[in-house]
Amino acid sequence: MKMPPRARRLPADGLRDIAELLREVTLPDDATELRLLIDLCRRSLRVRAWLFGRFAREPATQAAFRMFLANPDAAPTDLLLWPRALTIALRPDLGRPAPGEGAHGGLSEVQVLALIKGYQAEYLDVTAFVLARLWRRFLSSDRKEVPLALQLASARHWGALANDDSGRCINRLSDVLQFFRERGGRTIGEDDFGHPNSWRIHVLVHILDYPRPCYRVDELYRSLPPKFRHVDRREVRAFCQRHGIRRDGSPGRPLKLNVTK
């Protein structure tokens, strides 16, 4: 398989899609199941009537649930229909930082994870790469039941494949499966992601592990393993600018890092 040049530039719209995918597939099963219940109640008058008639006899609960079904954003915030953790999972905007206000140099945790997945996938389709990797991890585990969030995300991707008359989507999936097939039986690591992508992944992992409002370029440079010390600090600075990672330009001595060399 012929490979394009390394050091992929990741489009912003693609990263948003991957961030949403990661939010979805990391939902706990009970939150995903509750989403299905909500969707079922929204579509089925009979189920809704049965649920209200048998279980929701409190008028305030019925009114709040009906309002939520009609418009989740209009639901009253002073009456929690379910535990707060599930409320945040169902309305992630409640627990999501405003743009540029994430704990990781202005990025949220899921945005940093999306960047990591993008650089790991490199020239491959990132959605197919993430789903294939999750499926392979599940199949190699002792779990018997497929996580519901993974089922739903996979079903949507399958719909896109089935509706693609050009054949490009299935070709991209084939490339992803070939990537994993060629590495069967061993752990996939930085050697598989390409040298230019690997140092960027190391920087992102450091940002993920050490949340700060902003980062010194020297800190990020010194977090790299010795084999990546040839990377120019200007490349690290340009990398931060490209992805909106805030840099600390204030004077002062650099922070000491607890990094194993």
Let me know whether 10 and 88 are in one domain. Answer: yes
Final residue of a domain: which of 60, 80, 96?
A: 96
Residues in the chain: 261
pLDDT at 189: 79
Let me know whether 257 and 229 are in one domain. Answer: yes
Let me know whether 131 and 245 are in one domain. Answer: no
> What's the per-residue H, E or C state across 206-227?
HHHHCCECCECHHHHHHCCCHH
Buried b (16+ CB within 10 A) or exposed e, 115-154: bbbbbbbbbbbbbbbbbbbbeeeeeeeeeeeebbbbebbb
Over residues 58-89, the pLDDT tens digits come to: 777 777 777 877 876 665 555 566 666 666 66
Chain center to CA of 156: 16
pLDDT at 220: 95
Let me know whether 116 and 233 are in one domain. Answer: yes
Task: Tell me the residue range of the domain where 133 lies.
Answer: 123-191
Report CA-CA distances (Å) from 257 to 13, 35, 106, 111, 188.
33, 42, 20, 23, 27
Query: What residues of the chain score a pLDDT lower than 70?
Result: 1-14, 54-55, 72-96, 251-261
pLDDT at 101: 81
pLDDT at 203: 96
Report CA-CA distances (Å) from 34 to 28, 48, 74, 132, 164.
10, 14, 18, 25, 31
pLDDT at 168: 92
Final residue of a domain: which of 96, 114, 144?
A: 96
The number of CA neighbours under 13 Å toward the Cβ of 58 is: 6
Amino acid, single-letter form, for residue 101: E
Cβ(147)–Cβ(138) under 8 Å? yes
Total Cβ atoms within 10 A of residue 175: 16
pLDDT at 261: 39
Final residue of a domain: which of 148, 174, 191?
A: 191
pTM of this prediction? Answer: 0.70
Let me know whether 109 and 202 are in one domain. Answer: yes
Let me know whether 118 and 240 are in one domain. Answer: yes
Let me know whether 62 and 157 are in one domain. Answer: no
Let me know whether 28 and 85 are in one domain. Answer: yes
pLDDT at 6: 45
Cβ(30)–Cβ(86) under 8 Å? yes
Let me know whether 67 and 138 are in one domain. Answer: no
Let me know whether 88 and 170 are in one domain. Answer: no
Let me know whether 136 and 244 are in one domain. Answer: no
Over residues 150-175, the pLDDT tens digits come to: 888 898 899 989 999 999 999 999 99
pLDDT at 27: 80
What is the total count of domains within the chain? 3
Let me know whether 66 and 165 are in one domain. Answer: no
